[in-house]
Structure formats: structure tokens, C-alpha cells
Chain A
Amino acid sequence: MDRTIKAADLRPGLAALRDKRDKKHVKKCIITLKRIIACMTLPNNDMLQLFPDIIDLLDVSVPEIYKLCLLYIINYAKNEPNRAIEALPYLVDGTKHSSSITRSLNLRTISYINLPEYTEKALKVIPRAFADSDPLVRKTAALAVAKIWDRASVEITNSGMLDGLNALLDDSNITVVATALCSLIDITERTDGLQLNLDYDNAKIAVKTLPECNEWYQTYVLQALTFYVPQSSKDASSIASIIVPRLQHSNTGVVLGAVRVILYLTRYITDESTVHSLMKRCGSPLLSLLSKPPELQYVALCATVILIEQHPYVFNSEDVKLFFCKFNDPPYVKTTKLDIMYTLTDEDNYQSVLPELKEYATEIDHEFARRAVRAIGSVAIRVEPAADRCCTLLMELVSTKVEYIVQEGAIAIQNIFRRYPSRYESTLSQLFQDTDSLDDPRAKMSLIWIIGQYADRLDNGCDLLEDFLFSFLDESLEVQLALLTATMKMFLFRPAKAKDLIIKVIKWATEDCDHPDLRERGYMYKRMLTGNVETVKKIVLGPLPVITGTTQKFSSQTLDDLSLNIGMLSSLYLKTAQEVFAKSKPRKVADPNNHNTDSLHNLTSRLRHDSLPSHSDDSFTGHGSDSSRTPHISTPEERSNVLELRDVLNDDLLGLKSPQRSDLLDDDDDNDRETNQHLL
């Protein structure tokens, strides 16, 4: 592509068209036009000078030339509005051309260009096109309404064009129907006062068109079906069963669209076994999507994560093997697969999963290896028969002395001890041999907790504690609190040895530290030391609540929103749509008992989201998240901060809180665990 082509050089080529003597005049003109188009991608706007010449060519009846001129005009209309307006009469004439392709092309161009004169003409031309004999033109007209909506919503509503668009839903040609649905969804999603509703008959018609449409139209129809509110469980299940064959389609968008609709409809189906069998059908197609390219795999995997949160029976035990990571998978795919593997581990398949996790823990990617170790720990908590094996594995991994593995391993082992208090004491001495120098505060906290908890079983507990106490004043708050508690426990078990230690630590805590929590606890222990030993023992060494590791990953509201957005962008972040796009319209899933029987043909403005009453016990009246909850993430830095925040929260991957405060306070805090939201 020559960068030195000047506009003036190309002018003769355009003018050559008029020279009828030259037999190849048309070809020359076309070649020149192509060069002009090719130069459009250059940043300089040199080609603008040729606008008048281009306008001159518009009355030529050679389709290639016309098309190329239109491409030019579309690109430069903004820069030269006056010139562009000169082209308008030709375009309007073109909408009356005998060839439907030309009519459609002109209609499309008129509605695309964002100039007031064009919009005005579009408002006139579109309603005419609704009645066109060729379905192609009607289809273009349907989308044209959505195109000019932003610029002329008032005129459109007042002129009744929306009703015209609605009428297209009864069209004989299915692509017109599908495009009209697409256009309506686009308009209503952008406008607060409008809401798309389908009733049963509309939904049935829409569903019947599915097999005949091509894949993209199928996705639009499926999206529209999520706006259908079933009036009865029977209606919902009949529509759902017609959609099920779509799960066999090769296009990921169709499959996930079908999963989304079926999941949505199951909210209205009362029969448990129907729901069960429908959801089971969704499992297998998701597994097949794993052979697609990595980006599509990722979308399918995020959909799987959401699905198994609500319906864990979708996959069988042995399916977990299909989620094993391949060496070349990109990191985002591997992380999500690991998470799914963890969720699907149960007592039947842990034997094959654990060796796999061990492999991952020895991988080069630090982050991934850490997650794998965490997962091993969490499997031990959740699947009791696996605990022995997990513990052995973790001890092996810790003995490799790889720094980050040791840290994660320490935390995981502490959780195991917390869950199964007296089982693995034999491993204690080995553990402390392998973990001599640690940096990560959480790892330190874990080991300190273990020392405190098993102070009576460890022979060298005091020495270990002294090592940690060496740097007491430099530690972070959590570590200091843990040390204080552990030393207290040590004192209670071995008063003679730990006496000096406890006095030293309490002195530090109360006098040398600033933080009120630490000081308060220090004072409390100081006073307790003068009290009755038995009572003190009961308080400090009291039984701990059992942790289970089955906390919910998402709050029910988030899960609700996520299931409505399977296959959409917000599901990739595993957050609600509001959190990802603050401007997006909140989705309210309507309670059928409250359903307004407006059909699709009645799209007058209604402020629906305000008028829905709140049913606190209804699981499917999803209140849209408040926009005050999470601030709109606007700058790149903020977004990267959010991502880092996610990573930090990740550490508590499965809702296991490391005991950060003393045991005394734990009884109350454990209630908080249930509401901890964990992001991936």
C-alpha cells in the first residue's frame, strides 16, 4: 500500500468513468475507488478532498461503484456532513429500487449515518420498509429502528414505529421475526422505562422457529425467551423440553443460550424430578464444549462453575477426569478447571483427583501451584475419607521445602488439624522440622496456632514458640494476636516452661504495641492470670466449632444474577452484571403470581422494576443489586486493583477462615463465615 498516494492523483481515475471512449472505464474507476478505500485506514484524511467526486459517481448504475462510494461516505460522513447530505437524495431513491438488495443496502446506510438529516429521512423510510414485499428489506428495517433509537427515541415512540416493529413479530418469515426480537431486546435493554414481555403463545411461536433459523438467529430467539414469564409449571416445562435439542448444536452461543433459558425456566417448574432431568441434560454438552478453542472453553467453564453451584448433580463422579488440565492450557482455563475439579471431588473420585492435584502443585507456575495445594487442603475438609491421603500428600509437599508450597501447605495442614482435632498428631514433629523459615504471615499464623493448640503434645513447643516470639514486635497484627493466644495456651499446658514467655509477651502486648485489640487482649490475659486456673482453661482452651468447608461460594442474589447471565460477559468475572457494568439495566425475575398479563404487543413505558413487591421468601424474586454496593470501576488502575483484590480474597478459596482471633471470640465470628462472599 503506497503511502505516497495523493488524492489529486486519484481524481483522474474517478473521472475516467465519464470517458465513454475508454472501454475499460468502469474497471479503471473501480480500481481507483478500491485504492481510495484502502487508504481509508490511514490516519491522514487526505481522501476527504475527493468527496465531491464520489458524490458525482452516485448516479452511476454500476453496483460495484455504488457500493464502494457508499463505503466511502459511511466512513467520512462525520468529517464532511454537508457533503454527506448531498448524497442523501440518491440514497432515498435507492430505497425504492427494484432490487431488494439495493433497497436494503440503502436503508441500512441511511439509518447508520449519524446526522440529523439522515435520521429525519430514516424516520420516514423505515415504516415504508416494514411493509416491503421482500423479507430482506423488512429485516433490515427491524434493525434500523434499533440503530436510530438513541437519536430519536421520542419520535419513534410517538410515531408508532414501535408498534410497527412489534407487528413484525407476526411476520411469515422467521428471520424477520428473529431480527425483530433482537432489535426489541436491544432497545429495551438500553431504555429504563421499557420492558420486553412474552406470553405463552408468543414463546411457543418463537420456539417453533428455532430449528429453522441459522445459528445466530437462534441465539437471539433464545435470549428473547428469557423474557418470557411462564404462568404455570406445565407451560414452563413444555417450553423447556422443546428447547432441549438445542443443546446439541455446535455453536457455543446456542448451547449456552439454551442452558440459560432452561435454567431460567426451572425456577417456575415445581416438579423436582423434571428439573432434575432437565439439568442433567445440560451436563454433557458442557463437557463437549471443552474441545473448543481456549476462549470458548473459558466461557463454557465459567458457565459450568455457575451451574454446579446450583445443581451439583449435573455431572457424574467420573466426569471430573475430563476437567484435568492439559499442559498447554492458558492460565485462565487451568484456574477455572481446578476450581471445578475441587467442587466435583467427592468420596468416589478423590483417589484419582488427589494425584492430579499433586502434579499441579509441582508445576512451575507459582500461583497455580498454590491453588492446587489449597485445593488439596480443602478436599480434606470436605471429603472426610480423603483426609488421610490429603494429609500425607501435604506432608510430602511440605517436605520439598519449596517456599510457597510450604507456606500454603502449612495453612492447609492447620485447617486439617482444626477439622479433625486429634487425628494427625503423629505428623506434628515432622511438620515443624520442615518449616523452619517462613515469610508469609498466614503461614506463620497457621503454625503458631498449631503450636498453641497442641502445646501439650509437642515436646519442643516452647522452643518453637520462642523462635517465633523473637520477632514479635515486627510482626503484623494478626501474627501478634496469634502469638499472644498461643503463648497463653502454652502457659496453661506447661506453666513452668512458659511462665517467662507469657509475662514477656503480655508486657509487649500491653505496653509496646499500639493496636487496641492487641492491648485489650493482653490486659485480659493479664487479669486472667490472677484468676482461677480452671476457669481460665475453660475460656481459652474451650472447644472450637467444627468447620465444614461447604460454605457457599456466592450469595444467593449473586448466584441468581449469574444464572441469568450464563454465557454473557459478566459470568466470566463471576460477578453480577451490575458490578461489572454499573449502567446495565437490573434484571428482575418476575414472580408469576404477580405477573401482569401484558403481551408482547404492549410496550408502553412502565416502570416495572419499581412496582414489583418484595417477597422475602421467594427464591426467584431477585432484587437487582443496589448500585450503591460496588462503585463503578472506571479507571484502569481501579480495575487492576479489583483484580488484585480478587486474588487476595482467593486465599480464602473455600470459606475456611484461619483463626485470626483468639478462641474466646470465635464463637460469634463463625456466623460471619456463611456470608463471606468468595470470588474466583
Chain B
Amino acid sequence: MIAALFFYNKKGELVLARTYRDGLRRSIAEVFRIRVISNPSAVPSPVLTIGSTSYYHITHEDLYVVAVGRTNAAAATIFEFLYCLVSQISTLLGSFNSASVKDNVPVLYEFLEEVADFGYPQITEFAALSDHVVLDFVSAGPDSYQSQSSTKSEPVKPTAASVSWRTPGLKYKRNEVFVDVIEELNCIFNAYGDILSASVAGKIIMKSSLSGTPECKFGLNDASLEPSPSPKSTSFFLEANTPTKDIIGEDGVTFQNCQFHQCVRLGRFDSDRTISFIPPDGEFELMTYRAIDNIRIPFKVFPSLNFVGTHKIDYNVSLKSYHSSLTPGSSAAPISKLHVQDVVITIPTPSNVSSVQGISTTGGKAKYDPSRNAIIWKFSRLNSTSDYSLTASAELISMVNRKPWAKPPIQADFTISMFASSGLAVKYLKIFEPSNYSTVKWVKYVTKAGSYEIRI
């Protein structure tokens, strides 16, 4: 599948190269540099095919990660593999950029050899490969693999085991599980406040330090199930992060689709919607899901731009906090107290602005940032009952060649803790392990702004 892997830096120098197949000339590395790195703006596709050689490329920080193929290969798998490499190497070395690669060439060669045999990805979890990769590495930060693995005992060879994501025989003094429900709210509004499209892309991240090989069962308020019974077995602490009744949706959540980590038994989910799995050690993304019904939106922005000739724009932007459901036909209860924090509204301005005068707001702080061509309006905390507005006036320099302004949308960024915009709630998390230890479980809900665009 993959004939070679190349890592280039932004200047086009080859930092690392690993070939898996014969018959490749050195010049193929040059071709990529000339065609893609030299003119990055004209990239028509993430794959460049010249003759019978194709270059699948992604970028990460200051590196280009390129896979070269010479056949009609599975493009989806190759891109997934590239992203997987990026995340594994980042975890391994603490960061993945040209400096960290330069410091760790030998171990990366080893890693690349173990990870893909003859260009076919095999096992990519570093935990499973730790026995194969004998060299140690220079880690760039406290988050790297070495510092995390201090509590691990001697790993047993998993090699060709089917549970390749978990090494057996782990032991922890305190068995803990942290479940983070992180939702990203993606909305597009038009200038009048109508919702053009709204969806929630959520993911559930689980961080576990559990001994042995536990079987876990995870229950959500999935609307397609009948109401499930209350949890019986192990105790279920929910500390201060409990979602209160008026935040959870009354009916369950209807998922449009869920995608699961490879450890989840998909067959069982398909038959009776139970999510059962053996979790990998440490942090991993259990599932991602999508919801489009009954989404609660924290606020709306109403922009009003007045173009006075070609030399001035008057901005009048109002923000309305809004706490009942806005999607039509939903039955979710209105929320009384939402903790909307770290709100940043980015109001774009044209690039030929000379100055922005008279910025006044009825709440929050606003500042014009010339480097980003935008007025940045910040709130540390939004009061759920008030409305806010901002007025400003931007003076424009008249230019000879006036390119029309692209009018990028207003972007909003925020974080809402203890709130899941789709109404999802974790009902139970049961852990079965032969030694039957007790586990401390924590659940946290966070809703963040994904791509929250308000068109001007």
C-alpha cells in the first residue's frame, strides 16, 4: 500500500524518510517538494498524482507528513494512518515538529518499521509496541509517554494478541475513571439570527487507571432505548459536576450516528445498543457522535453593519443570551442557569482599516486587533439574563486596487461547563473485573463552540 513515508519541514528539506518498497528513486522526494511545498496556496487536492506515483499529504505544525503510493490504494486508510502516526508520535515525544524529529531519528526509524510492515499498517498503539521498540527517546515535554508510564508494571508481550490496545497485568492502587463528555456546537446563522444549520459533534473521552483487564459497560440516555433501570452494582460518585435536572433533556438524546473506538464491541451495539468494551489504559476517545435534534443554543449574535460610502463602516452588534430551545419542534425544558465562560466574539474587519474608533459596549471588553483584522469582544462570563451590544466605527483607507471584502463570518468561541448541548447524560458506567475492586468515577460535561458562525 504505502511505498514510502516522508517527513518534510516547511522549507522542503527531508527530515526523515522510510521506504517500504523497492523501485523508488530518490528523486520522488524532490517532486513533492517542487509541486506542493513550493506553492502551498494552489493545492487542489490532498493527493498529488503524477504518472503512477501518488503523494498523500497532511500537515502538522511545521511538518509535512507524506505517504507515497504507486497503486490504487485505500486513500481513506492511508490518511487515517497518517493522522494516527501524528498522534502517536506526538504522545511519544511530547511534541511532533521538525526539532523533535531531528532529536529522535533512530527511534522513529524503529517505530516506522514496526508500525507498517511492507507499507501495510499493523499495530500502531505504542503501548503494544513498547516491547519491540528497544530504543529510548528524547521527549520534549512533561506530557510525553515516558512520564506517563511510570505506574506501569512490566509489560507482557502482546504481539499478536487480539486485544492489542491493552497490555494485561496492570496494577493501580487507586482505581479511577474520568469520563469527559465534550461537545462541539457547530452552528451557522444568517444576519437576522435564523439558524441555517445546527449540529453537535460530541465525543466522550475516557481516562482510566484500572487494574487488570476490566470489562466496562456504558449507558447513555439514548432515546432509542426504553428507559434503562438505575445502576445497581458499583458505586457511582458524581461529585460537584453533576448535571442538574433542568439541564438534562427530558426525553433521551437521539443520536444521528455514533462512531466508536476499536475496543468497543460493535456487534453488541448493533443488536441492543449496549456499549461494552475493554478500555485501553490511560486516555482514549471512546466514541464520537452527532446530534441534530433538540440542540440548546446559548446565545445569538445580531450583527448590523452600515457601510458609509467607502470610507467607514459602522458596526452595531448585539448579543442576546437565549436559554430555551431554538430548534423547532423540540421538547427540551428551558434552562435557567448556564455557565457560559470565556466568550470571545471575533468581528471581522476589512484589511484596509486605518483605525477603529468609538468602541463601546454594554458588557465585556472589546478591542481592535489589527493583526487579525478583527474586533475582539471578550466576556469572562455571560450573564444569562442580559443582552449586550457593541458599537464601533471603522475608518477605511481608500485603496487604488480595491479587492472586494470577503466578509468572513463572525466567529464566536465559548465554553459552557456542566452542560451538554444535545442533552446527553451518562446514566451508568459499570465495571466488571474478576478481583471486584471498587472504582471512583467522575463525569464532566463541557460544551464548546465548534464552528459557530454568524454571517454578516
Interface residues, chain A, with chain B CB atoms under 8 Å away:
1, 33-34, 37-38, 40-41, 63-64, 67-68, 71, 100-101, 108, 114, 134-136, 139-140, 143, 146-147, 150, 173-176, 179, 182, 186, 189-190, 211-216, 218-220, 223, 244-246, 248-253, 255-257, 284-285, 287-288, 291, 293-296, 298-300, 303, 321-322, 324, 326-328, 330-332, 352, 355-356, 359, 363-364, 565, 567-573, 577, 580-584, 633-636, 639, 643
Contacts and interface: CB of A to CB of B under 8 A. Distances in A.
Contacts of B288: 250, 288, 291
Q: Which of A252, A291, A330, A633 has the most CB of B within 10 A?
A: A291
Given A287-B290, A363-B406, A71 B256 contact: no
A16 to B, nearest CB: 18
5 contacts: A34-B105, A321-B197, A332-B45, A355-B196, A584-B72
B74 A223 contact: yes
B188 interface: yes
Contacts of A570: 72
Nearest to B57: A295
A253 B74 contact: yes
Contacts of B287: 250
B201 interface: yes
B162 A250 contact: no
Given A245-B270, A285-B259, A216 B45 contact: no
Interface in B8-34: 14-17, 22
Interface in B53-82: 54, 56, 58, 69, 71-81
B159 A135 contact: yes
B120 interface: yes
A636 B54 CA distance: 12
Given A250-B288, A295-B46, A633 B157 contact: no
B246 interface: no
Contacts of A41: 14-17, 105
Contact of B75 (A34, A174, A568, A636): A568
A322 B199 CA distance: 8
A324 B43 CA distance: 21
Contact of A324 (B162, B196, B201, B270): B196
B263 to A, nearest CB: 9
A417 to B, nearest CB: 30
B336 to A, nearest CB: 30
Interface in B93-124: 102, 105-106, 109-110, 113, 117-118, 120-124
Contacts of A295: 46, 56, 58, 79
Contacts of A64: 134-135
Contacts, number: 244
Interface string B384-418: 00000000000000000001101011000000000
Q: Which of A150, A249, A288 has the most CB of B within 10 A?
A: A288
B74 A67 contact: no
A356 B72 contact: no
A396 B408 CA distance: 21
Contact of A213 (B80, B162, B292): B162
A580 B48 CA distance: 12
Contacts of A584: 71-72
A83 B46 CA distance: 41
B90 interface: no
B47 A572 contact: yes
Contact of A569 (B44, B54, B109, B135): B54
A147 B46 contact: no
Given A216-B120, A250-B259, A569-B75, 12 more contacts: A64-B135, A143-B120, A186-B1, A251-B80, A253-B78, A257-B77, A298-B45, A364-B406, A565-B72, A569-B54, A633-B51, A634-B51
A453 B162 CA distance: 71
B60 to A, nearest CB: 10
Nearest to A294: B46
Contacts of A139: 160
Main secondary structure of the interface of B (DSSP, over half): mixed
A68 B58 CA distance: 29
A140 B290 CA distance: 39
Interface of B: 1, 14-17, 22, 35, 43-47, 49-52, 54, 56, 58, 69, 71-81, 83, 102, 105-106, 109-110, 113, 117-118, 120-124, 131-132, 134-135, 157, 159-160, 162, 164-165, 186, 188, 190, 196-197, 199, 201, 256-262, 265-267, 269-270, 285, 287-290, 292, 403-404, 406, 408-409, 451, 453, 455
B290 to A, nearest CB: 5
A70 to B, nearest CB: 9
Main secondary structure of the interface of A (DSSP, over half): helix
Nearest to A253: B77
A635 B44 contact: no
Contacts of B46: 294-295, 298, 332
B165 A214 contact: yes
Contacts of A255: 76, 259
Given A248-B258, A248-B266, A569-B73, A114 B131 contact: no
B270 A572 contact: no
Contact of A293 (B15, B58, B267, B451): B58
B106 A150 contact: no
A191 B58 CA distance: 31
A487 to B, nearest CB: 38
B123 A569 contact: no
Contacts of B124: 216
Contacts of A63: 134
A253 B79 CA distance: 8
Contacts of A569: 47, 49, 54, 69, 72-75
A150 B17 CA distance: 23
Contacts of B45: 298, 332, 572
B196 A216 contact: no
A45 to B, nearest CB: 12
A220 B120 contact: yes
Contacts of B74: 219, 223, 253, 256-257, 567-569
Contacts of A565: 72
Nearest to A291: B201
A134 B135 CA distance: 23
B385 to A, nearest CB: 31
Given A114-B22, A581-B71, A219 B197 contact: no
Contacts of A135: 159-160
A583 B270 contact: no
A78 to B, nearest CB: 9
A101 B131 contact: yes
B105 A37 contact: yes
Contacts of B83: 293, 296
Contacts of A567: 74-77
A288 B290 contact: yes
A38 B135 CA distance: 13
Nearest to B110: A67
A57 to B, nearest CB: 15
B25 to A, nearest CB: 12
Contact of A583 (B52, B56, B188, B408): B52
B285 A250 contact: yes
B406 to A, nearest CB: 4
Contact of B259 (A288, A580, A633): A288
Q: Which 4 A-B pairs have the closest CB atoms?
A: A253-B77, A135-B160, A245-B266, A245-B270
Given A101-B131, A248-B258, A322-B199, A572 B160 contact: no
A189 B71 contact: yes
A245 B117 contact: no
A269 B314 CA distance: 63
Nearest to B121: A216
Contacts of B110: 67, 71
Contacts of A639: 49-51
A68 B135 contact: yes
A33 B107 CA distance: 12
B14 to A, nearest CB: 7
Contacts of B120: 143, 179, 182, 186, 216, 220
Contact of A101 (B35, B109, B159): B159
